[in-house]
Amino acid sequence: MSDPHRHDRHHRHHRHDEPAPPHGRWHRLAHRLTPHSHESADKLDPALESSARGLRALWVSLAVLGATAMAQAAVVVASGSVALLGDTVHNTADALTAVPLGVAFVLGRRAATRRFTYGYGRAEDLAGVVIVLTIAASAVLAAWTAVDRLFDPRPVAHLSAVAVAALAGFAGNEWVARYRIRVGREIGSAALVADGLHARTDGFTSLAVLLSAGGAALGWRLADPVVGLAITAAITLVLRDAAREVFRRLMDAVDPALVDRAERVLGEVPGVRGVGELRLRWIGHRLRAEVALVVDGEVTVRRAHRIAVEAEHALLHAVPRLTAALVHADPAPTPGETDPHLALAHHAGA
């Protein structure tokens, strides 16, 4: 009953017919070029900005991890450390996970089409699956290397250089992990958060190299494989968290607190007598909502439409990262009348 993209008929943040300020036409021109309503183009701006932040986080972290991997590779050539070689491979793989996620962010900025009517935001969730598989592969590789070294211990040369390279690897990965996780949570990207967790697992691997180098310096030849197995267990725990986050996003799970907030805000809109069906879903790092409201059955169609528009407006302001909402207004059933939604559900069940 509500057209969710025509707020300009009822609500404006600024009036364009106000007298021009002293600066004249330049100020008026800038004012007209600035979005002021909640139409589709206006809602898209924050989404595009969040995608740009995600891309920036990816490229910055790619540069940091690339530099870290190059520095470690130089030490690998000098020391012949297989442990450090494995860590370098982990860091390189982590850096390369920015590629599918970057592609997903770029695709997510494309406009919806008649075939992909919701746009391409789901590409970000698919990238999250790739990242989870990459973490799993890292865990398998770490476990394989640790077991192999348990049965065939190998000496490590230039232990001090290996230790410094391991610290550099940990520092680089931890910085990237914190950066990706923070930006991912701010823009609502589960894939970017998972990628940050992946960087953290590689940081743990770097610490394993450091501990194994310390153990080797003390003469314990099994230090490297034992620590490697412990780190594999830690990577598995991180894998579980990342997989759960991506799985929930693929299954359209949302934080129940968001649903509670949406119901509370909708219930406070004048004219709303009740909140029926309320659905929230993530598409990439953007939220969409579908709402059925109950209004007085005696109000006019125009008044019911106005209530739906006000409800949508309140919802867009109250729910973080919500970029679109479809609001439908149902008349409250009169005594003896059956709710049309319940009747339809009963008919479908029959």
The pair of structure tokens assigned to 198 is 């992946």
Which of 45-49, 131-135, 153-157 reaches the highest mean pLDDT?
Answer: 131-135
Relative orientation angle of helices 190-217 and 82-96, to the nearest 10 degrees:
170
Could you give the CA distance from residue 228 to residue 26 in angstroms, rounded to a whole number?
64
pLDDT surpasses 60 at 344: no
By residue count, the chain amounts to 350
Question: Which SS3 state, helix, strand or coil, does residue 291 take?
Answer: strand
Q: Which residues contact 327 (CB under 8 A, 6 or more apart)?
A: 1, 2, 4, 291, 293, 308, 309, 311, 312, 315
pLDDT recorded at residue 44: 40
pLDDT recorded at residue 115: 92
pLDDT surpasses 60 at 21: no
Tell me if 161 sits within 8 A of 75, measured CB to CB: yes
Q: What are the phi and psi torsion angles at 252 (to 5°)?
A: 60, 30
Q: pTM of the predicted model, to two decimals? A: 0.67
Structure-model confidence comparison of residues 271 and 339, the more confident one? 271
Could you give the CA distance from residue 190 to residue 141 in angstroms, rounded to a whole number?
24
Could you give the CA distance from residue 50 to residue 46 in angstroms, rounded to a whole number?
6
pLDDT surpasses 60 at 258: yes
Run of H or E residues at 146: helix 122-151
81-133 residue pLDDT tens: 767 777 787 777 777 777 887 888 788 878 889 999 888 888 888 888 988 88
265-314 residue pLDDT tens: 999 999 999 998 899 998 877 889 999 999 998 889 999 999 999 999 99
Tell me if 206 sits within 8 A of 167, measured CB to CB: yes
CATH architecture for segment(s) 40-250? Up-down Bundle (1.20)
pLDDT recorded at residue 305: 92
Residue 325's DSSP bridge partners are: 289
Run of H or E residues at 83: helix 82-96
Q: DSSP assignment of 151-198, as one string?
A: HS----S-HHHHHHHHHHHHHHHHHHHHHHHHHHHHHT-HHHHHHHHH
pLDDT recorded at residue 149: 74
Structure-model confidence comparison of residues 316 and 192, the more confident one? 316
Structure-model confidence comparison of residues 323 and 21, the more confident one? 323
User: Within the chain, which residue ranges are assigned CATH 3.30.70.1350?
Assistant: 256-349
Q: What are the phi and psi torsion angles at 329 (to 5°)?
A: -105, 125
Could you give the CA distance from residue 307 to residue 327 in angstroms, rounded to a whole number?
10
Tell me if 196 sits within 8 A of 177, measured CB to CB: yes
132-141 residue pLDDT tens: 888 788 778 7
Segment 138-145 shows an average pLDDT of: 79
Query: Strand pairing of 272-283 and 322-331?
Result: unpaired
pLDDT recorded at residue 42: 40
Question: Which SS3 state, helix, strand or coil, does residue 326 take?
Answer: strand
Tell me if 173 sits within 8 A of 94, measured CB to CB: yes
Structure-model confidence comparison of residues 341 and 312, the more confident one? 312
325-336 residue pLDDT tens: 999 999 987 765
* Average pLDDT across the chain, whole number: 76
pLDDT recorded at residue 336: 58
pLDDT band for position 337 (50/70/90)?
A: low
CATH number of 256-349: 3.30.70.1350
Which of 148-152, 222-226, 300-304 reaches the highest mean pLDDT?
Answer: 300-304
Angle at 238 between CA 233 and CA 240, to 5 degrees: 95
pLDDT recorded at residue 23: 42
| CA gyration radius, the chain | 27
pLDDT band for position 340 (50/70/90)?
A: low
pLDDT recorded at residue 57: 85
Q: Among all chains, which residue has been given the structure tokens 């759960």?
A: 244
pLDDT recorded at residue 246: 87
Could you give the CA distance from residue 291 to residue 278 in angstroms, rounded to a whole number?
5
pLDDT band for position 37 (50/70/90)?
A: very low
pLDDT recorded at residue 158: 77
pLDDT recorded at residue 292: 93
User: Within the chain, which residue ranges are assigned CATH 1.20.1510.10?
Assistant: 40-250
Question: Which SS3 state, helix, strand or coil, does residue 119 take?
Answer: coil
Closest by CA position to 95, among listed 161, 166, 168, 180: 180
Which of 48-57, 108-117, 149-158 reaches the highest mean pLDDT?
Answer: 108-117
pLDDT recorded at residue 146: 75
pLDDT recorded at residue 294: 93
pLDDT recorded at residue 26: 37
Q: Which residues contact 168 (CB under 8 A, 6 or more apart)?
A: 68, 71, 72, 206
